[in-house]
Amino acid sequence: MTEPEQLGFRALADPTRRSILRLLASQDMTIAEVAENFDMTRAAVKKHLTILDQGNLISVETDGRSRVNRLNPIGLKGVFDWFTYFDAFWDSRLDTLKSEIEKDRQ
Amino acid sequence: MTEPEQLGFRALADPTRRSILRLLASQDMTIAEVAENFDMTRAAVKKHLTILDQGNLISVETDGRSRVNRLNPIGLKGVFDWFTYFDAFWDSRLDTLKSEIEKDRQ
DNA sequence: TTGACATGATACCTTTCGGTTTCATAAATA
DNA sequence: TATTTATGAAACCGAAAGGTATCATGTCAA
């Protein structure tokens, strides 16, 4: 009964993990390379990468003795799509807010 | 140095809170009304609503002795907009994936 | 004013989170 | 082969999360 996005949302809850995703948007990286960008141990970064992987937000590919982490656009889009549930809502609501602000200006 | 979306992402990490947001998309509700929809105490629901409020995802308005919880489209859009950072990325990547799938089909 | 009702707030408990340290393993290289 | 390099994994720790129960407060209504 768990939503498919659950692990994705969980993965996005931590600022370090969101930061990692932005890093990986520029280029694929090994664990060590990702870890260079943070003030914590490689083991801690590895944990974050595991959670990102579980959330389907990255994929990991073994290349010899190193493992390359790559952003996974499909998983990211899965979480993104969750918001479309509210499309109708905020279209109308933001319009309402906008027109009320206009009214206040007059 | 904390991102403005941090509290929003934190609020979205819990499935009960995401469920509350979908409820509030259909209509504004008091705490008691929200609590009717879940198998937990009103106090627990109140905590979730507080976290949603801190994340700017809902607003709360006092009306006599009851407090009405309302979806806040602005805060929701703030989190939504975080994803636009990856727009360019997944446009190109999803296209790549799609064409690779097409190739496999041939 | 008294009582019922809707909520706020606090103390407490268990589990999960985010980090560390330490040790094991697999692959590249001298 | 011996050693370095890149990673995996487990034990451990303090803090935060998600619940509960309990009591306090403010408001409506008879």
Could you say which nucleotides of strand D lie within 7 A of any protein CB atom? Answer: 5-10, 17-22, 26-28
φ, ψ for residue B41, nearest 5 deg: -70, 160
B3-105 has which CATH code? 1.10.10.10
* pTM for this predicted structure: 0.90
Q: At what angle do helices B87-105 and A73-82 cross, to 10 degrees?
A: 120
- Interface of A to B at Cβ within 8 Å reads 2-3, 6, 9-10, 12-13, 15, 18, 21-22, 25, 71, 73-74, 76-77, 79-80, 82-83, 85-86, 89-90, 93-94, 97
Going from N- to C-terminal start, the domains of chain A cover 3-105
Cα B64-B68-B73 angle, rounded to 5 deg: 145
Helix or strand run (H / E) with residue A93: helix A87-105
Task: Report pLDDT digits (tens) over A4-44.
Answer: 999 999 999 999 999 999 999 999 999 999 999 999 999 99
| Cβ atoms of A24 and A53 closer than 8 Å | no
Cβ–Cβ gap B86/A12 under 8 Å: no
- In the predicted structure, residue B102 carries a pLDDT above the cut 80: no
Which amino acid is residue B33, in one-letter code? E
Residues making up chain A, counted from first to last: 106
Per cent of chain B over pLDDT 90 is 77
